[in-house]
Structure 1
Amino acid sequence: MRRVPSLKPIPQSLRLAGAGLALAWLLAACTTPPQAPAGVAAASAVASTPASEEVESEAKNANLPRMDLSDDLLLRFLVGEIALQRGKGQFSAQTWSDLAKRTQDPRVAKRATEVAIGTGQLALAREDAQIWIDAEPDSRPAKQVMLGLLLRANRLDEALPFLQNILRDQPGEAAAFFAQLHQLWDKSTDRAAALRLTEELIAPYPKLPEARFAHAIALANVGRVDDALKELDAAEQLRPDWDIPVLYHAQLLPEDQRLAYLQDAQKRYPKLVSLQLSTAKELVTAKRYDEALKLYDSVLKLQPQNLEALVGSGLVALQLRDTASAEKRLGDAIRLAPGQTANLRFYMGQIAEEKRHTDEALRWYESVEGELKPTADQRRVRLLARSGQVEEALALLQAKPADTNDSRIERIQLEAQVWREAKQYPQALQVLDDGLKTYPDSADLLYDRSLVADLAGNDAEAERDLRRYLVLQPDSVQGLNALGYTLANRNRSLDEADQLLEKAIAKEPDSPVIIDSVGWLRFRQGKLKEARELLAKAYGQLNDPEIAGHYIEVLWVDGAKSEARKVYDAALLGDPASEVLQELNKRLGVR
C-alpha cells in the first residue's frame, strides 16, 4: 500500500535585515578569497610603463612609491605569474611576497596577498596584507582582506581594532552590522573569544537592540542560554516590532516550550507574519495539522503569494488527505517560484498518481530535481510498468547508475517490481532469487520476494521469507505488520498475528496501513464492532482499495449492507479497475 510521506517541518532559519555596507564587504572578505587573474595581467598592471622609465603616473595622485622598473624587477613579476600559471603556487606566492617587501608598493602587495590566499598560504597572506596596509593606510580593501584573514585564523583579538574602525567610520551602519555579526563565525571559531570580542564591540551601544541581539547569540554559543534569553528580551523591549529576537528566543527554548512561547508572542504581535509562520511550523511538528492550516490560511489572506505559506499549507493539506487543496497550493507555489520548488513536483506527481492520472504523474516525476529525484525515478519505473510500458521501465532502470552494493540491490528490487506490476510473477521471483544468491542476507530482497510469493499464491514461501526478514530486522514495523497481516489474512496463528501487530501499532499508532491490519485481524477473531471501528478509521485516513475492501466486507457481514454499498461505490469511483473491489463484488454480490 502507498503511504504519503510524513510532513517534516521546514528548518527554521533567521531572516536578517539588509546588510549594511560595512558588514557586506567584510563578509565578502571572509568567504571569498581573491581569484588569480589569468596570464600576466597583474604583472602588466604593475609594470605598465617601459623598463627605462619610472613608475610615476599613479604615484603623483595616489602617494605611491617612486621606483625604477628595472629589467630585473619586471622579470620577477613575470616569473611570479608564470609560476602561478604552471601550478607552482608556493613558489609564485613567495616570489610576489619578496617583491612586495622589496618595493613596498601597495599594488604589488595587493597582488602578493591575492596569490597567497588563492594558493592557500594564509600566514604569508597576512604578512603581505600588512605590507599593503603599511603602504596604503587608508585602503579599505586592504583592511577588508586583513580582517578576513585574521578571522579565518581565529586571531580575534587582532581583528578587534579593525571591527572597531568599521563602526567608527560608518556609525550609521551599526545596527545592520550587529544584526549580522554572528555570520562572521564558523565552526572553527573560538566561541569564548568571539564572546569577548562581541562584548568589547557592543559596550558603547547599550540601547541598540541589534547589539543586544549580537550579544545574545555570542552568549548562546558558549552555552549561556539563560543569559542569552535575557538579552533577547532586552532587544525585544528596545524594538518591539522586530521579530528576529523573538524567533531566536523560540529556537533556544526546549522543544516542549517553543509552541507556547510563540503563541504568546503572536498575541503580543498579531501583525507579524513571521511569527504566524513559525508557530504554524511548530504546530506541524506537534501534528496539530488543522491549527497549522488555519495559521497558514491567515497568512495567505494577508499575503496571497507568500511562498512559505503556500508550501506549508499545501503539505499540510496533503497530510490531511485534502488532495484538491494540496494540488492547488503546491501548484501555485511552483508557478510562483519554479526554481525554488523542484522537490514539490514530487508531491504533485503523488497527487496525480493517486488520482490515477498516470501520464500527468510521469511528467511531474520526470521534472523532479534534487534529493527526491531518485525516489521520483523509482516511481516512474513502477508507473511505466503498471501501465504496460515494460520496455520503457526497464530502459529507465538500466540507465540508473549502480556502482555500490546498495544501488545494485535497489536495481534488483526495481526490476522485480517492474515484473510484479506487469503481473509476471515468475519473472519477478527469478530476479529476486538471483539477487539473493548474490546478497543472501539482504532484508530488502527477502521482503520483496515475500510480497511476490504472496501474490503468486505461495503462502509458505511468503511466510518463510518474512520470518527470515524479521530475524535480520527484528524491530522493523514493516516486517511486523507484513507477517501479522499475512497470518491474519490466511486466518491462522491468530494469537501470533495479534502479538506481531500489537508491536507494530505501538511503534506507529497513527499508520492507516497498520490500523487496517489490526482491524482485519479483529474481523478474523470475530470482534466485529472493534474491527468496524478500526477499519472505518483506516479508510478515513487512506482511500486505498484494499482497505476499502476490508471495510466493505466487515460492514456487509455486520449487516450494514446499505453502508457497505456506499463505501463500495465511492471506492470504485476512485479506482474503477481495482481487482480487489471486483473480486469482492464477485464474492459477496455487493452490486
Structure 2
Amino acid sequence: MTKLFPAFLALAGALALSGCAGLHPGKLSPAPSEEGKPLQPVPVFPGMAGAGEGEAPLSDLVFNLLAGELAGREHRLDLAVEHYLLAAEASDDPRVAERAVRIALFAKQPEQALTAARRWIELAPDSVAAHQTLAALSVRTGRVEEALEELEWLLDHQADFVEITALLAREADHRAALDVMRRLAARHPDRPEAWLAHARLAQLAKAYDEALGAIDKALALRPDWDDAVIERARILARAGRRS
C-alpha cells in the first residue's frame, strides 16, 4: 500500500519547505510540483506561524498534503482521505483532486471519491479522464441522472458507444450499469449503436429478453449490420434459444 504514497510525499515535503521559508510580506511562492507546474497560493491557517519572526505560516494546502501522505504511509486511509479532500478544496491544481480520488477509491470510500471527482472536473472541465471517473462513480453510488450527464458529455467529446459500454461493463453491479445504459439508449432511439450497447450490458446482467429486444431495435434501424446480427446469435445462444 505504501507504493501509493511516496511520489506525492516528496511533493508535499517540497511544498512544506516552500510554505515555511522566509518570504516577502504578502507573497507565497510554492515549490514546483513533480511536473514543474506550481500549485496556486492558498489561504493559511490563522495562528499557525512559522518557527521564527518573519517566516510564512503553514498553508492549508501544505498541511493537508503532508498530513494526507503521512496518514497513508501509516495505513490510516480514513485520515488520508479526509486530508486529501481538504487539500483538493484548497488547491487549484487538478492533480491534487485526482490524487484525492485515487486515495478514496483505494480506501473503498466511493462517496468521498465522488466528491473529489466533482472537484477534479471543476478544476479541469475538459478532462476526459475526470468525466469518465465521475460517470463511473455516479453509477456506483446510484446517481443515475449525474451518470447520464457525464456519459452525454463523453459522447459529445468524441467517445462512442463502444467506449461507453466498456466503461459501464467494468462496474461490479451489472444491474446498476444496465439501468443507466437503458436510459442512455432511450435518449438516442435513432442510433443503432446505442441499442447494441444496451444489448451487451443487458447480457452482462443476464437480462436476455431485454438484450434481445434491444438488439432487434438495432437491426430494425440497420438490418444488414454484421455486428448486430452476430450479437443477436450470441444472445440466443446464451439464453438457450434458437430464434
TM more than 0.5: yes
1:189 and 2:175 matched: yes
Which residue among 30, 44, 53 is the counterpart of 1:55? 30
Q: Equivalent residue for 1:213? A: 196
CA RMSD of aligned residues (A): 3.5
Per-residue CA deviation, residues 4-58 of structure 1 (Å, 9 max, x unaligned), is xxxxxxxxxxxxxxxxxxxxxxxxxxxxxxx874454213335645333513757
Q: Equivalent residue for 2:104? A: 116
Q: Equivalent residue for 2:113? A: 125
Q: Equivalent residue for 1:41? A: 7
Q: Equivalent residue for 1:228? A: 214
User: Structure 2 matches for 1:329-478, cutoff 5 A?
Assistant: none
State the SS of the aligned residue for 1:55: coil
Asked which structure has the greater CA Rg, the reply is 1
Contact 1:209–1:239, Cα closer than 8 Å, also in 2? no
Q: How many residues align?
A: 215
TM-score by length of 2: 0.69
Q: CA deviation at 1:71?
A: 3.1
Whole-angstrom CA distance in 1 between matches of 2:59 and 2:39? 20
Q: Give the 3 Å change call, closer, same or farther, for CA 70–238 of structure 1 in structure 2.
A: farther
Normalized per residue, the structure richer in helix is: 1
Contact 2:40–2:93, Cα closer than 8 Å, also in 1? yes
Ranges in structure 2 where 5+ consecutive residues have no aligned partner: 22-27, 44-55
Q: Equivalent residue for 2:232? A: 246
State the SS of the aligned residue for 2:108: coil
Contact 2:42–2:59, Cα closer than 8 Å, also in 1? no
- Could you tell me which amino acid in structure 2 is paired with residue 210 of structure 1? E
State the SS of the aligned residue for 2:223: helix
State the SS of the aligned residue for 1:154: coil
Work out the percentage of aligned pairs sharing the same amino acid: 22
Structure number with the bigger relative contact order (C-alpha 8 A, sep ≥ 6) is: 2
Which residue among 81, 91, 94 is the counterpart of 2:82? 94
Q: CA deviation at 1:196?
A: 1.7
Q: CA deviation at 1:226?
A: 6.0
Q: Give the 3 Å change call, closer, same or farther, for CA 140–212 of structure 1 in structure 2.
A: closer
Whole-angstrom CA distance in 1 between matches of 2:105 and 2:225? 41
Q: CA deviation at 1:180?
A: 4.5
Q: Give the 3 Å change call, closer, same or farther, for CA 138–223 of structure 1 in structure 2.
A: same
State the SS of the aligned residue for 1:54: coil
Q: Give the 3 Å change call, closer, same or farther, for CA 104–167 of structure 1 in structure 2.
A: same
Ranges in structure 1 where 5+ consecutive residues have no aligned partner: 1-34, 262-591
TM-score by length of 1: 0.32
Contact 1:97–1:109, Cα closer than 8 Å, also in 2? yes
State the SS of the aligned residue for 2:126: coil
State the SS of the aligned residue for 2:175: coil
Q: Equivalent residue for 1:533? A: none
Which residue among 186, 195, 203 is the counterpart of 1:199? 186
Contact 1:236–1:246, Cα closer than 8 Å, also in 2? no
Q: Give the 3 Å change call, closer, same or farther, for CA 158–40 of structure 1 in structure 2.
A: same
Q: Give the 3 Å change call, closer, same or farther, for CA 132–147 of structure 1 in structure 2.
A: same
Per-residue CA deviation, residues 555-584 of structure 1 (Å, 9 max, x unaligned), is xxxxxxxxxxxxxxxxxxxxxxxxxxxxxx
Q: Equivalent residue for 2:150? A: 162
Q: Give the 3 Å change call, closer, same or farther, for CA 42–100 of structure 1 in structure 2.
A: same
Which residue among 21, 37, 41 is the counterpart of 1:66? 41
Per-residue CA deviation, residues 332-364 of structure 1 (Å, 9 max, x unaligned), is xxxxxxxxxxxxxxxxxxxxxxxxxxxxxxxxx
- Could you tell me which amino acid in structure 2 is paired with residue 43 of structure 1? L
Q: CA deviation at 1:103?
A: 3.2
Contact 1:179–1:211, Cα closer than 8 Å, also in 2? no
Q: CA deviation at 1:184?
A: 4.7
- Could you tell me which amino acid in structure 1 is paired with residue 149 of structure 2? P
